[in-house]
Homo-oligomer: A and B are copies of this chain.
């Protein structure tokens, strides 16, 4: 029997494939092992267990989102940067609904996710730096941005908008709402 040649990265990639195929709740060591063609206990040679695998998956997703965010704001600033940042993050969540759902509710509570989580928030902070908000106003602006993007992505990625109206339009309203808030905060 030839060897599979696994490593931690390959296991995480397979886990993401399982999440994409069967949903976040179906991520199990047995399903990942079956996908890569290996007995379940063999995965412990590369991964500490199911909890750690979940954490590694979340870390991968957070890094992807941070990359998306970075690419979105590159070469842009102000309202343009904020708009594209919001749209691109929403786009990622909708393109990979199961991956978004695979993220734990408390990413900052997991030390393994602190770096990736901080990278994403860092892009938020850098993007908002253009508005020169001072002290706590900057913190609140970052939080409001998180609330809107997460709230919308969370609902849309689980098909929570039942009515016929386009979610695109709703999201445009939210962007306008947030930009108005930024402009207003800037004047104080």
Collect the chain B residues with CB atoms within 8 Å of residue A108's CB.
159-160, 162
- A50 CB to closest chain B CB (Å) equals 12
Given A173-B144, A180-B177, A181-B177; A139-B151 close (CB under 8 Å): no
Look across to chain B and name the residue whose beta carbon is closest to the beta carbon of A163: B139
A105 CA to B184 CA, complexed, in Å: 33
Instruction: Give the residue of B136, B143, B157, B174 whose beta carbon is less than 8 angstroms from that of A147.
Output: B174
Say yes or no: B151 contacts A152, CB within 8 Å. yes
Say yes or no: B155 contacts A140, CB within 8 Å. no
Look across to chain B and name the residue whose beta carbon is closest to the beta carbon of A105: B158
Q: Is A101 an interface residue (CB 8 A)?
A: yes
Q: Is A36 an interface residue (CB 8 A)?
A: no
Q: Is A150 an interface residue (CB 8 A)?
A: yes
Q: Is A187 an interface residue (CB 8 A)?
A: no
Collect the chain B residues with CB atoms within 8 Å of residue A14's CB.
none
Say yes or no: A106 contacts B159, CB within 8 Å. yes
Say yes or no: B173 contacts A140, CB within 8 Å. yes
Look across to chain B and name the residue whose beta carbon is closest to the beta carbon of A174: B144
A158 CA to B109 CA, complexed, in Å: 9
Q: Is A154 an interface residue (CB 8 A)?
A: yes
Collect the chain B residues with CB atoms within 8 Å of residue A144's CB.
170, 173-174, 177
- A104 CB to closest chain B CB (Å) equals 8
Collect the chain B residues with CB atoms within 8 Å of residue A44's CB.
none
Say yes or no: B143 contacts A161, CB within 8 Å. yes
Chain A residues with a Cβ under 8 A of chain B: 101, 105-109, 136, 139-140, 143-144, 146-152, 154-155, 157-163, 165, 167, 169-170, 173-174, 176-178, 180-181, 184-185
User: Lowest 9 A-B CB distances belong to which pairs?
Assistant: A151-B151, A105-B158, A147-B151, A106-B158, A177-B181, A139-B165, A143-B170, A147-B152, A136-B165
